[in-house]
Amino acid sequence: MHHSRLCTVVIDCQTDDLTQAATFWSHALGKSVVTVDQDGDGRYAELATEEDEPIILLQRVQHEGRVHLDIETDDLDAEVARLEKLGATRVAFVRDRWWVMQAPSGHRFCVVRPQREKFGPHLNRWE
């Protein structure tokens, strides 16, 4: 048995200025900027959300801008296997931490480990 849930909406930004993108989305969504350099590499900015809301992350990318979803899980291998049975395919294992997947519809998404200290309350339980 394992758990998973939608955890993050990731706004992929094809830009050299992530601060400018974070400022735009902060004002557009009415959320303050938590950080414009989450990991110290200039690739991730985060907007403030409540504990019961999905995380809003901006990611500096080289491809066209788009939005993708992250699904967090307490068992990465089991969740990836479950999604593969539904027709998703593995694209890449990134930084030995998460899987980039592709849905049968062609949409990319990520399967990640828990992102917040409190992993709940809106969990799906899979057996």
Question: For residue 52, what pLDDT is reported?
Answer: 83
Share of the chain above pLDDT 70, in %: 100
71 pLDDT higher than 80: yes
- Rounded to two decimals, the pTM is 0.86
Closest CA to 9 of 51, 50, 68: 68
Domain ranges of the chain: 2-116
Q: Is 25 helix (H, G, I), strand (E, B) or coil?
A: helix
Best CA proximity match to 37, nearest among 14, 57, 61: 57
Percentage of the chain exceeding pLDDT 90: 83
What is the pLDDT, as a whole number, of residue 58? 96
Task: Give the DSSP H/E element, type plus range, for residue 14.
Answer: none
| 118 Cβ contact list (under 8 Å, min separation 6) | 51
2-116: CATH topology? 2,3-Dihydroxybiphenyl 1,2-Dioxygenase; domain 1 (3.10.180)
pLDDT at 118: 79
Residue 117 has pLDDT above 90, yes or no: no
- Taking residues 15-36, what's their average pLDDT? 95
Tell me the two tokens of residue 79. Answer: 């969740």
Amino acid sitting at position 92: A
Q: What is the mean pLDDT of the chain?
A: 94
SS3 breakdown of the chain: % helix, strand, coil, rounded to 5? 15, 40, 40
Check pLDDT > 80 for residue 104.
yes
What Å distances lie between residue 89 and 46, 63, 76, 100, 110, CA to CA? 28, 20, 14, 9, 11
Mean pLDDT for 4-23 is 95
What pLDDT does residue 12 have?
Answer: 96
